[in-house]
Amino acid sequence: MRRQAPPDISYSAKKDIMKTAFLLAALLAAGTTSVFAQQAAPAQPAAAAAKPYVAPPWTYKTKQLSRAEIDALLAKPGEVLVLDVRRPDELITRGSFPIFLSVQFNEVEKYLAYIPKDRNIITVSNRAHRAGDIGDKLSAKGYKIAGAAGSLDYEDQGGKVARITAPPPRAAAN
């Protein structure tokens, strides 16, 4: 079989090909450099990489609850309401207490009518700071706040939270 010569291409097409080749070479060089930079970085010891969580100072009037206090309150389910103020993605990734009312932090004011005033309320967030803030706001409006809890703090103290699985994606409509 005889090989055919490539068709003649215009000067502007050659220029475009050269630009593309140059950009591709630059991208490959940048990627290679970052790979070498990552390999050249000294490895961190496992102990140094996993630093323990240090909580910022507690600045709320609402009491920050310990695991034992939370367990004592949860033992009386008819008297307590767990109000989780985190986003849905945080509930899925971090877990929460078995039964709770979920109202996102920035929407609590909007849903005050759904929060009972006759129950002790445990406000919940990841490390209790948003929960402390909401606890102070609800307390000022006459709600009975038992305290603020962090689900991660509760786990750090040996407690177990319920893991929530995300629902499967909905089937696309035809």
Q: Is the distance from CB of 81 to CB of 121 less than 8 angstroms?
A: yes
Q: Is residue 108 part of a domain?
A: yes
> Each residue of 18-61: pLDDT tens digit?
555 444 444 444 444 443 444 444 455 555 566 776 878 999 99
Q: Is residue 130 part of a domain?
A: yes
Per the structure, the complete domain to which residue 100 belongs is given by 67-156
> Each residue of 124-163: pLDDT tens digit?
999 999 999 999 999 999 999 999 999 999 999 999 998 8
Q: Is 10 exposed, middle or buried (0-12, 13-18, 19+ CB in 10 A)?
A: exposed
> Which pLDDT score, from 0 to 100, does residue 44 have?
52
Q: Is residue 59 part of a domain?
A: no
Q: Is residue 134 part of a domain?
A: yes
> Which pLDDT score, from 0 to 100, does residue 98 have?
82
Contacts of residue 163, defined as CB under 8 A and 6 or more positions apart, other chains included, come to 95
> Residue 140 belongs to what H/E stretch?
helix 129-140
Number of domains in the chain: 1
73: domain CATH number? 3.40.250.10
> Each residue of 66-94: pLDDT tens digit?
999 999 999 999 999 999 999 999 988 89
